[in-house]
Amino acid sequence: MHDQPPAPPFGKDPATIVRQADPFNAGPPLPILRADFVTPVERFFVRSHGDVPQVDPAAYRLRIGGLVERPLELSLDDLRAACPRYTVMATLQCAGNRRQDLIAVEPIPGELPWGAEAISNAAWGGYRLGDVLALAGVAPAAAHVCLSGLDETERHGERFTFGGSLPLAKALHPDTLLADEMNGQPLPPVHGAPLRVVAPGYIGARSVKWLASITLAEQPSDNYFQAVAYRLFPANTQRDSVDWDSGIMLGELSVNAVICTPGAGANVPAGPLEVAGYATAGGGRAVARVDVSADGGATWRAAQLEPDSAVWSWRFWSITLDLPDGQHELVVRMIDSAANTQPAEPSLVWNFKGYMSNAWHRIAITAGSGKGAATWDI
């Protein structure tokens, strides 16, 4: 393992929005993201906490230990021989997606300024994590499955590898995978080759890439990225007055919805305009309805949900609005199958780490000359 730029094919698209060069963090512009229900591999957003490990597949071993009956070291051939293959369509979303909307309320230093592009959808191929755990035998006391990657990062002067954990029930869910394929292609290095976790419906950080070891334990992982980072602190609590144990260890994702096209600030012809975007409901819940407003939230119309869908995937939506000359504030909000809704304003969920930013998404656009009756004031 040594420093090097992210491997192709990611980043070929010159439109890629690079939020950080080293470690590499990037995603596609929203109109490009919205073009395909299944995100092409070369456009899938990348979240890295360190350099991309370069792994020799022949030498690779997955270690399984802790509260198991038989500690194991498995080669890729061992896995292939022992476990049936499965494919699961799943959207991964970073817990920091849409952090920019929180930063606009109050700065969040030291965290990536993601727009709404830290999300993508793919068909993941590989093995069920539960099948792999069964090879080692889960001891009765085990309650959490700790996952450790090969990627090294540095925080507060210490170097360590990325890690996190899943509750045992989530790890044993038949749709939780160790993936080595993405959309039918071999998993690229930047996405975790040779083997990564895919924990559908959970924040992306739990889908540990470049998986090195699995340790079954009574408690969640004590890795920095489980025990300290990726905790959701009370809204509007300040960093300098926080009780660090008060943060919720993030797991399942909340409701969210985003307008992908037109882009913010667009100037469009007056008349019919197609507005399109994505919506997500965490934990396998369904997107039940998406509403769109063309007047800043005063009135709403239900958008059409696109037919493409899968249990663990985002839902695309679209609506045609008829916009007169003038400035308009477009807003989207969604409701999931459990009747959960989004907060109306980012200030209501602002938190100093900038996670789970899911307020109604608003963009300002101008139709025609912009000289008509304004419904939105700049």
8 Å CB contact between 136 and 171: no
Between residues 141 and 344, which has the closer beta carbon with respect to its own copies?
Answer: 344
Q: How far apart are CA 277 and CA 287, in angstroms?
A: 13
Nearer CB in complex with its own copies: 161/358? 358
How far is C-alpha 237 from the geometric centre of its chain's CA atoms? 24
Q: How far is the CB of 288 from its own copies (least distance, A)?
A: 4
> How far apart, in Å, are the Cα atoms of 199 and each of 123, 172, 175, 187, 205?
13, 10, 8, 16, 9
Kindly state the smallest distance separating residue 51's Cβ from its own copies, in Å: 30
Footprint on this chain of its own copies (rule: CB under 8 A): 232, 234-237, 243, 246, 248, 250-255, 282-283, 285, 288-289, 291, 299-300, 302, 335, 337-341, 343-345, 348-349, 355-356, 358
Sequence-distant (6+) residues with CB within 8 A of 221 are 144, 146, 147, 148, 163, 164, 165, 215, 227
Nearest CB to its own copies, comparing residues 84 and 241 = 241
Least CB distance from residue 251 to its own copies, whole Å? 6
CA dist 24 and 11 (Å) reads: 10
Task: Give me the least distance between CB of 254 and its own copies, in Å please.
Answer: 4
375 vs 182: CA distance, rounded Å: 44
Q: Tell the smallest beta-carbon distance from residue 23 to its own copies (Å).
A: 25
CB of 280 to its own copies, least distance (A): 11
Choose between 78 and 252: whose C-beta lies nearer to its own copies.
252
Instruction: Using the minimum distance from each CB to its own copies, give the nearer residue, 43 or 144.
Output: 144
Per 3-state DSSP, what percentage of the chain is helix, strand, and coil (rounded to 5)? 15, 40, 50
- For the residues of 172-234, what is the DSSP string, one character each? TSTT-EEEEEETTEEPPGGGTTT-EEE-TTBBGGGS-SSEEEEEEESS---SHHHHTSSEEPP
For the bound state, the minimum distance from the C-beta of residue 149 to its own copies, rounded and expressed in Å, comes to 23
Q: Which is nearer to its own copies, 226 or 254 (CB)?
A: 254
User: Would you say 52 or 349 has its CB closer to its own copies?
Assistant: 349
Between the CA atoms of 334, 284, 166 and 244, what dihedral angle is there, to the nearest 10 degrees? Answer: 20
- Residue 204 has phi, psi (to 5 degrees) of -55, -30
